[in-house]
């Protein structure tokens, strides 16, 4: 699939991944406004919101619009749709085989035309409160939310859903302010993939936005200056679960990396984590042989506000020993760099890249992640993988500082 980028006069970025051999069309509208964006300036005046605002607005603009309940209406005509609030964005999608242009128009016009009044807010609040209560029953939610709080400097942020009292006390004027500040074309991106007519789609998007009015205020997010150290080095949460779980989150100072550097680093970290903590790793085997863990080790890397974070976690009732071993391993920096394994990973990544086009979601979803997280406006290519040598891989890992970490443990009472 070939990527095409178009910037409309209103500042909206549109990306097309056209493949008319497919039978479905997958349209994503992304608003650059997520759970963490509680502090922002409008015409130089600073506003601070409570947690949960972005998530509340996501519900509102889907469920209460001039065009009715969008998800319900889409569902009736066989269109799959949903909204998702992430830490750094709100994303709406429709996935359809019919009514492609009409539904794109309704999606754009609908989410920009919410009906906001006391009655609507009170109605939307109730299921969100239920959603929050459900999340309180899940201790793992608390673990990952706290582990994120422990590494982020912006300690105003606690949770995407907000606390029960934040949801209860949400104000109409704040909703309006946040909606008008962030739901505007210059702060949005549309990605269309699969089967569609390019010209008709571009005209549909233009027409939909031209029929809407947006505020002219100047809006900027206020991002807290990142400190070098993580917020909290160790945090223990008491739980009644049968198995303890520990998360080690390492903050890497990669703020100065270019988007392409970050793409390369993503590949290197994937190889590094598999090689050192995955099923093939000596470390994993040692932990299992010593019966410190039973199951394998989980790991991932992600980016928030320009910084890379590595997360390593496992379930074990000897969690302190596991955590100490990981920390010792990271401190020693005697990492495994296995050239043969590196080349096997590279080959498998290349094959997966070729196979990616079989499924439009496999193309679109990582593209959105890369674009939103580190502003990389392209698809990753085979040449990017081929150009990464073993020596470059080794060097890129060796120069990272793994000493800035936070440990969060879910421990039995």
Closest distance between other proteins and the C-beta of residue 352, in Å?
7
Strand bridging mode 234-239 / 80-85: unpaired
**How many other CB atoms sit within 10 Å of the CB of residue 27?**
26
Please give the backbone phi and psi of residue 368, each rounded to the nearest 5 degrees, phi first. Answer: -60, -45
Identify the residue among 2, 23, 118, 399 touching other proteins (CB under 8 A): 23
Closest distance between other proteins and the C-beta of residue 284, in Å?
7
Closest distance between other proteins and the C-beta of residue 60, in Å?
14
DSSP line for 180-217: HHHSSGGGEEEEEEES--HHHHHHHHHHHHHTS-----
Structure tokens of 142?
């608390």
Closest distance between other proteins and the C-beta of residue 150, in Å?
23
**How many other CB atoms sit within 10 Å of the CB of residue 365?**
17
Helix axes 172-182, 118-136, angle to 10 degrees: 90
Smallest CA-to-CA distance from 213 within 188, 187, 183 is with 183
Identify the residue among 3, 42, 47, 80 touching other proteins (CB under 8 A): 80
Residue 378's Cα: distance from chain center in Å?
17
Q: Binding marks (x or -) toward other proteins, 153..192, rule CB under 8 A?
A: ----------------------------------------
Angle at 213 between CA 211 and CA 218, to 5 degrees: 145
20 forms part of the interface with other proteins (CB under 8 A): no
Q: Site size for other proteins, by CB under 8 A?
A: 57
Chain residues 296-335 in contact with other proteins, contact rule CB under 8 A = 296, 315, 317
Chain residues 357-376 in contact with other proteins, contact rule CB under 8 A = 357-360
What does the alpha-carbon distance between residue 310 and residue 72 come to, in Å, rounded to a whole number? Answer: 38
**Is residue 272 packed enough to be buried (19+ CB in 10 Å), middle (13-18) or exposed (0-12)?**
buried
Complex with other proteins: residue 223 or 280, whichever CB lies closer: 280
Closest distance between other proteins and the C-beta of residue 72, in Å?
7
278 forms part of the interface with other proteins (CB under 8 A): yes
Identify the residue among 20, 155, 211, 295 touching other proteins (CB under 8 A): 295
Contacting residues toward other proteins, per CB under 8 A: 21-24, 63, 69, 72, 75-78, 80, 96-98, 123, 126-131, 133-134, 136-137, 194, 240-243, 278-282, 284-285, 288, 294-296, 315, 317, 341, 344-345, 347-348, 351-352, 354-355, 357-360
């Amino acid at each position: 699939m070939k990527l095409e980028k178009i910037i409309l006069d209103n500042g909206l970025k549109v990306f097309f991944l056209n493949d008319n051999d497919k039978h479905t069309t997958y349209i994503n509208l992304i608003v650059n406004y997520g759970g963490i964006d509680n502090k922002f300036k409008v015409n130089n005046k600073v506003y601070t919101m409570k947690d949960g605002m972005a998530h509340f607005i996501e519900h509102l603009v889907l469920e209460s619009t001039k065009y009715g309940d969008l998800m319900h209406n889409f569902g009736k005509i066989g269109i799959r749709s949903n909204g998702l609030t992430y830490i750094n964005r709100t994303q709406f999608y429709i996935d359809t085989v019919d009514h492609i242009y009409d539904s794109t128009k309704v999606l754009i016009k609908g989410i920009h035309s919410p009906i906001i009044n006391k009655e609507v807010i009170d109605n939307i609040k109730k299921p969100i409160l239920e959603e929050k209560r459900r999340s309180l029953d899940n201790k793992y939610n608390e673990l990952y939310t706290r582990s994120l709080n422990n590494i982020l400097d912006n300690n105003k942020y606690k949770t995407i859903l907000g606390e029960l009292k934040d949801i209860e006390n949400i104000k109409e004027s704040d909703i309006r302010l946040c909606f008008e500040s962030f739901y505007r074309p210059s702060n949005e991106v549309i990605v269309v993939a699969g089967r569609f007519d390019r010209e008709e789609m571009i005209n549909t998007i233009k027409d939909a936005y031209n029929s809407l009015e947006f505020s002219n205020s100047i809006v900027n997010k206020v991002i807290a200056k990142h400190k070098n150290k993580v917020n909290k080095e160790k945090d223990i949460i008491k739980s009644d679960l049968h198995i303890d779980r520990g998360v080690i989150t390492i903050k890497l100072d990669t703020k100065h990396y270019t988007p392409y550097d970050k793409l390369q680093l993503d590949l290197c970290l994937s190889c590094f984590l598999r090689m050192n903590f995955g099923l093939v790793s000596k470390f994993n085997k040692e932990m299992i042989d010593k019966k410190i863990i039973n199951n394998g080790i989980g790991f991932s890397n992600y980016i928030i506000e320009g910084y890379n974070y590595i997360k390593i976690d496992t379930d074990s009732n000897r969690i302190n020993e596991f955590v100490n071993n990981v920390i010792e391993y990271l401190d020693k920096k005697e990492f495994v760099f296995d050239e043969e394994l590196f080349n096997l990973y590279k080959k498998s990544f290349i094959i997966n890249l070729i196979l990616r086009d079989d499924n439009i979601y496999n193309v679109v979803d990582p593209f959105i992640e890369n674009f939103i997280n580190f502003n990389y406006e392209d698809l990753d290519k085979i040449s990017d993988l081929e150009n990464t040598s073993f020596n470059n891989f080794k060097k890129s890992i060796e120069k990272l500082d793994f000493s800035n970490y936070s440990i969060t443990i879910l421990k039995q009472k």
